[in-house]
Every structure is written in C-alpha cells, then in structure tokens.
A = this chain, B = another copy of it.
Amino acid sequence: MSTQPLAIARTSYTPARSTEPSASDEIRLVGLTKSFGRDQAIYGEGDPADLVYKVISGAVRTFRVLADGRRQISDFYLPGDVFGVELDAERRSGAEAISETVLLVARRSVAEDPEQGQSLWRHALRQLRRSQDQALTLGRRSASERVASFLLDLAERLGGGDELELPMSRQDMADYLGLTIETVSRTVTQMQGSGLIGLAGCRHVRLTRPGALAELCE
C-alpha cells in the first residue's frame, strides 16, 4: 500500500484539453484533470464504464484478478496514452495509479464521437496488437525473453533512449509478465551479470547491449 495516506482524488475545475497535435491517430479528449496517489484505484472491475482517460503524468496499470488473488496486469499506460475505452457499460478490469498521477478525464461519448473518425478503432487495434504481443510472450517465451522484451518495449515507449526509469515495482513487472517477483529479480540480476544491462538502483536501467536483448526476443 501507499506510504502516504491515500489522497482523495483531486479534481481540477479548470477545463483542460489534450494538447497533442491532432494527428489522425490521436484521440482528442476534452475534460477535467484529476490527480491520484500511489496505488489509488481509478476504477474497479464492475464499475460503470462511462469515462475515458488520458495520462498527463505518472503511470497507470490495468489488471484482472482471479478469485484466489492471482493478478494479471493487462497493460501499463504512460503519459500521452489513452485508456478506459470499454465495449460494455461495465469495467472488465480495474485501473490503478502506479505513482502520483495526473489524468485527463472525459466522458465516454467524447471518445465515441463520429468526429473522431478512425482514431477510435485505430486505438482499439493498437491495444489489440499489444495484447497479442503479450499473449505471445506469456504463452511461448522464457523468463529472460519476457524480461528482455519488456525492457525493450518500455524503453521505446519512454522515448527510445537506452536509459530508462522503471515506473513500476518488481511485483507489477511480475504480474505483467506472468512470473513471480523472485524470478523477475533473479533475471534482472543475471542480465546485469552478463552485461546486457546496467543498474543504478533497482528502478534505473541502462540497456548496454540492446542488440543482444533484441536477439533474445527473436
């Protein structure tokens, strides 16, 4: 749980607007901004799905849990990413802030506006592609292959450099990759040992041999 008491979500009453250039693929959202503390729930499974979100700052995880508590993280959302678009009226997964996070909140109808053109189904297809990539990883890759593909994907999403700050804990990585926290930790340590990556604190990673990492993923 959070080290600080969970903040009540703070809603800014200054109307905000998504600032991205309106490339055809960008979903334009208009709404309010809202802040969330670490580990704070944004919505839960079964909640009404009448809002959509765009990450302004921070990071978000969406996830499903089985009855006995096993958790699978569906995806992580970083600044600029849109999440919360659902097929039905109810949430099929939960969403939580990973760290102190600011979101742009819009009514679902804004995203579904026909004015948006192709952007909504292109968004859905991008999500689908990511989910299918994840399924390939979960179904057919070894632990080190999973971690390698995760680091490469994250590095690219965070700007493409060879140095990155992990926004999430080892437990989150494990629940995304279908592993245990111990296996993730051991795998990262081994990668450091074999010179594939460098660590400066457990959250700061440098990809020293990105080519070798990519080979691991084929």
Taking Cβ atoms with an 8 Å cutoff, the residues of A that contact B are 64, 66-68, 70-72, 74, 85-87, 92-93, 112, 114, 117-118, 120-122, 124-129, 131-132, 134-136, 138-141, 175, 177-178, 218
CB distance from A162 to the nearest CB of B (A): 23
| Number of identical monomers bound together in the oligomeric complex | 2
Output the nearest chain B residue to A136 by Cβ-Cβ distance: B72
Which residues of chain B are within 8 angstroms of A125 by Cβ–Cβ distance? 85-87, 124
Contacts of A138 in B (CB 8 A): 135, 138-139, 178
- By CB atoms of chain B within 10 A, which of A118, A125, A175 has the most? A125
* Alpha-carbon gap, A218 to B120, bound state (A): 32
User: Contact: B118 with A218, CB < 8 Å?
Assistant: no
Query: How distant is the Cα of A128 from the Cα of B84 in the complex, in angstroms?
Result: 13
Contact flag A87-B126 (CB < 8 Å), given A121-B120, A132-B93, A139-B177: yes
State the Cβ distance, A128 to closest chain B Cβ, in Å: 5
Q: Hey, which chain B residues are within 8 Å of A112, CB to CB?
A: 118
Nearest 4 pairs of A and B residues by beta carbon: A139-B178, A124-B124, A67-B218, A138-B138
Report chain B residues within 8 Å CB of A74: 132, 135
Residue from B87, B92, B140 in contact with A72 in the complex, judged by beta carbons closer than 8 Å: B140
Complex Cα gap A50–B117 (Å):
19
Q: Say how far A173's CB is from chain B's closest CB, in angstroms.
A: 12
Partner of A128, one of B131, B136, B218: B131
> Is the Cβ of B135 less than 8 Å from the Cβ of A131?
yes
Question: Which of chain B's residues has its CB closest to A142's CB?
Answer: B70
The answer to whether A124 and B135 touch (CB under 8 A), given A66-B140, A140-B66, A140-B178, is no
